[in-house]
Amino acid sequence: MSTNEYSYYTSNQGDFNEPDNRDNKEPKKKKKLKVPKLVMVICLALVFGIVGGVTFQVISNITGNLTGNSNSSSSTGTESSKITSAELTQTSNTVVSDVSSVVKEVMPSIVSITNLSVQQVQSFFGGVSEQQVQSSGSGIIISKNDSELLIVTNNHVVSGYESLTVTFSNEVSVEATVKGTDSSKDLAVVSVPLSEIDDKTSEAISIATLGDSDALSVGEPAIAIGNALGYGQSVTTGVISATNREIEMEGFDCQLIQTDAAINPGNSGGALLNASGEVIGINTVKVSDSNVEGMGYAIPISDVSDTITELMNQQPKEKVAEADKGYLGIKGADVTSESASLYNMPQGVYISEAVQGGGAASAGIQKGYIITAIDGTSLSSMSELQTQLEYYAVGDKVELTVQIPSQNGEYTEKNVEVTLTESVG
């Protein structure tokens, strides 16, 4: 009962006033205040707790002064809570870090690539017609020389092109040509003449910094930039999910980086970056399945640096007119990865016939040979060989890399120079 309550009680009841003897009556006995036993026990417990706490605090302070420890256990507890909270906040910030500064630095080195190609389309009535098809991809500016800007991308981004257009970060577009391709690594290098790039665009673009994909750790941040769905450059983030992944794609021979950063159509050929903004991979493919989420892949940059250098050093290629196109004079078939594994054969183009009077037969190439490259560009199918021959005219010389079978089933590699002829056979 509080003092106010107690005062209010006495002033109204008068139980504790002095006795009145004017009427010679017996003095009234003072009534004792009855306190319930439970309340008394609680009060005694509180008093004991307060006394004990004060005593403990005094002893703790004396001990602390003698040992040099901190004064207050309660303040130490508060301080610990603050430190824990700060650590948690810092960890959270690391996970959802702002990548805008990295993107701003790297974006001028990323381009969009538009491929206009002609494909054969089967009509409803069974006929075949040619139709122009436009596809989109991405590329990374990796170097330049005295006359051209060099851009790396995927082979499948430029495959079958009739014309290529590169669009820079300032939305300026110029025509480009292919310098070299490697289908087994799904790589291509595209060239843009410096004379076609205006001064403002030259100032707006930059050359990407290549990182070390061999030093990657699973779980570290990853940033993907590319021309997703052909809408222009966009950014997705995630982590490195795995390294040295192998996936089954016909003619493809490369271990890949796996990431959960979204890789969408149009991202192919774009950059996968580390937290420092260095290119650690070239985005190439994603797993598309209703049961799969967040599985994209990139070509490790350190694994293909030599291949990229070789492609950069090739001469730019221009397609020749259909009437001027040169031919090898062979009939062939694909040696797929499955066939190569089953029959212990190199993957490439199996020559089923070297037509007499053709360039291949004149150079000594025979039935049973397997073509694996033309002028340093690897081949895995007849269609890839035909695509490469579109850059050569009658009379041009090409160097074929062929695998020659021996009686014991082994193959020996040899480079053969072939002069292209008109169509024969």
308-335 residue pLDDT tens: 999 999 887 788 898 999 999 999 999 9
Closest by CA to 332, choosing from 400, 394, 396, is 400
Pick the range with the lowest mean pLDDT from 109-113, 161-165, 222-226, 376-380: 376-380
308 is written with which tokens? 């990229």
Q: Which domain holds residue 285?
A: 214-302
Is 92 contained in some domain? no
Pick the range with the lowest mean pLDDT from 99-108, 125-134, 217-226, 409-418: 125-134
| Domain CATH for 136 | 2.40.10.10
Residue 92 has what pLDDT?
Answer: 37
**Same structural domain for residues 365 and 395?**
yes
Domain count, the chain: 4
314 is written with which tokens? 């090739």
Query: Cβ(418)–Cβ(400) under 8 Å?
Result: yes
Q: Is 365 helix (H, G, I), strand (E, B) or coil?
A: coil
Average pLDDT, integer, range 227-244 = 93
Residue 288 has what pLDDT?
Answer: 65
**Same structural domain for residues 146 and 171?**
yes
Residue 340 has what pLDDT?
Answer: 86
**Same structural domain for residues 187 and 239?**
no
Is 375 contained in some domain? yes
Q: How confident is the model at residue 115 (pLDDT cuts 50, 70, 90)?
A: very high
Query: Cβ(158)–Cβ(317) under 8 Å?
Result: no
Q: How confident is the model at residue 132 (pLDDT cuts 50, 70, 90)?
A: confident
**Same structural domain for residues 221 and 287?**
yes
Q: How confident is the model at residue 240 (pLDDT cuts 50, 70, 90)?
A: very high
CA 67 from centre of chain: 56
Query: Cβ(402)–Cβ(371) under 8 Å?
Result: yes
How many DSSP H helices and E strands does the chain contain? 10, 18
Average pLDDT, integer, range 206-225 = 96
Catalytic position from the list 183, 191, 268, 381: 268
Is 19 contained in some domain? no
235 is written with which tokens? 């950014």
**Same structural domain for residues 296 and 335?**
no
Catalytic position from the list 159, 184, 186, 381: 186
Q: Is 156 helix (H, G, I), strand (E, B) or coil?
A: helix
CB 298: neighbour CB atoms within 10 A?
29
What is each CA distance from 172 to 167, 197, 200, 365, in whole angstroms? 6, 9, 10, 47
Average pLDDT, integer, range 66-90 = 40
Residue 131 has what pLDDT?
Answer: 72
What is each CA distance from 222 to 237, 266, 388, in whole angstroms? 6, 18, 35
**Same structural domain for residues 411 and 327?**
yes
Cα–Cα dist 28/20, whole Å: 8
Q: Answer yes or no: is pLDDT of 49 > 80.
A: no
Cα–Cα dist 213/240, whole Å: 11
Q: Answer yes or no: is pLDDT of 27 > 60.
A: no
Average pLDDT, integer, range 245-272 = 87
305 labelled catalytic: no
- By the 10 Å C-beta count (0-12 exposed, 13-18 middle, 19+ buried), 60 is classed as middle
Distance, first Cα to last Cα, the chain: 118
Is 84 contained in some domain? no
**Same structural domain for residues 365 and 412?**
yes
Is 50 contained in some domain? yes
Is 155 contained in some domain? yes
pLDDT tens digits, 31-43: 444 545 544 544 5
Is 77 contained in some domain? no
186 labelled catalytic: yes
Q: Answer yes or no: is pLDDT of 229 > 90.
A: no
Catalytic position from the list 109, 112, 136, 156: 156
Q: Give the containing element (helix H, strand E) for 235.
A: strand 234-245
Backbone angles phi, psi at 31, to 5 degrees: -85, 135
Cα–Cα dist 123/296, whole Å: 34
Which residue is associated with the tokens 């006995």?
29
138 labelled catalytic: no
Cα–Cα dist 328/349, whole Å: 13
Q: Answer yes or no: is pLDDT of 58 > 60.
A: no
Pick the range with the lowest mean pLDDT from 62-66, 242-246, 377-381: 62-66
pLDDT tens digits, 187-213: 999 999 999 999 999 999 999 999 999
Cα–Cα dist 390/181, whole Å: 14
Is 97 contained in some domain? no
Regarding predicted confidence, which is higher, 158 or 292? 158
Mean predicted lDDT score pLDDT of the chain: 80
**Same structural domain for residues 291 and 338?**
no
Q: What percent of the chain has pLDDT over 90?
A: 53
Question: Which residues lie closer than 8 Å to 175 by C-beta, 6 or more apart?
Answer: 163, 164, 165, 166, 192, 196
Greatest mean pLDDT range, 13-17, 30-34, 252-256:
252-256
Q: How confident is the model at residue 339 (pLDDT cuts 50, 70, 90)?
A: confident
Residue 420 has what pLDDT?
Answer: 96
What is each CA distance from 251 to 155, 162, 376, in whole angstroms? 12, 23, 16
**Same structural domain for residues 339 and 296?**
no
